[in-house]
Amino acid sequence: MRSASDDLTTRARIRDAAIECFARRGFGGTTLRQIATEAGVSAALIVHHFGSKDGLRDACDAFVVASFMDDKDAITGTAAADMMRAALDSPDRYAPLLEYMTRMLVDTSSASDRLFDAFLTGTREMLERQIEAGIIRPQPDLNATAAYMTLYGLGPVLLQRHLARTLGEDRLTTQLLERSTLPVLEIFTHGLYTDDRLLVAARDALNRKTGPRSDKGENDPNQDPDPPR
């Protein structure tokens, strides 16, 4: 994962300041002047680099998505343990990005839709590559799988306060992440059920054909309530 501190150009400084401001106050509650003060630049310079506050949000979204999706394929390589250890040891490094995502994903704007869709696209591409590599089993409905995997991945971000509270912490800490790592991977690797009886039952239920419902139902006023025997 990339950090907001990796790139300290003026444009990146503005972007990082905007991420922190949007995370604290939300998009609607943040002004360009506030971001400019945080970044130590003028509001005019922000407009010069990004065109508008909407353009700045787009740049923030792109950076946040790339920060969490660019290294997804690393989990399939020999450096997987090193990458996991680095992430476990540095929860505060990504705190502003997680807070930003929490704020920006819960509104009902088209920008929020685009942010979620970017994560969805990245998740689907990751699944496709890992299926091709034989790491993940082929899925009967890859779009549905990608949607649920995206929701599963974003859930702990959006509900991080409750996750931390439930596991006895006041925020996402190294200890909390360490405690969560094996149970989560166990779910994905070995699953929960000891056999496939529920899956078989669901397939059977979904494959059963139901005939068309009669136009004359029990509420049909023209139906004889007591037909002759």
Domain around 92: 63-158
* Phi (first) and psi of residue 26, to 5 degrees: 85, 165
Q: How many Å from the N-terminal Cα to the C-terminal Cα in the chain?
A: 75
Kindly tell me the sign of the dihedral angle through the C-alpha atoms of 124, 128, 129, 133.
Answer: positive
Q: What 3-state class would DSSP assign to 225?
A: coil
Domain count along the chain: 1
The larger pLDDT score, comparing residue 116 to residue 3, is at 116
Token pair 């089993």: residue: 137
C-alpha pair distances (Å), 170 with each of 14, 97, 173: 29, 18, 8
209 lies in a domain? Answer: no
The residues near 38 (Cβ < 8 Å, ≥ 6 apart) are 17, 18, 20, 21
pTM: 0.71
Instruction: Pick the closest to residue 76 from 116, 128, 119, 121 (CA basis).
Output: 128
In a domain, 96, yes or no: yes
CA angle 200, 150, 83 (to 5 degrees): 110
At 3, give phi and psi (nearest 5°): -110, 150
Q: Quick check: is 105 in a domain? A: yes
* 156 confidence band (pLDDT: 50, 70, 90): confident
Q: Is 194 inside any structural domain?
A: no
226 occurs within a structural domain: no
List pLDDT tens digits, range 157-207. Answer: 888 889 999 999 988 888 888 899 899 999 989 999 999 999 999 999 999
Question: For 49-67, how does the pLDDT look when each residue is reduced to its tens digit (9 = 90+)?
Answer: 999 999 999 999 889 888 8
Higher pLDDT, 126 or 209: 126
CATH number at residue 107: 1.10.357.10
Tell me the average pLDDT across 18-45.
Answer: 93
Mean pLDDT of 61-76: 69
Q: pLDDT by residue (tens digit) across 9-18?
A: 899 999 999 9
C-alpha closest to that of 69 among 34, 120, 107: 120
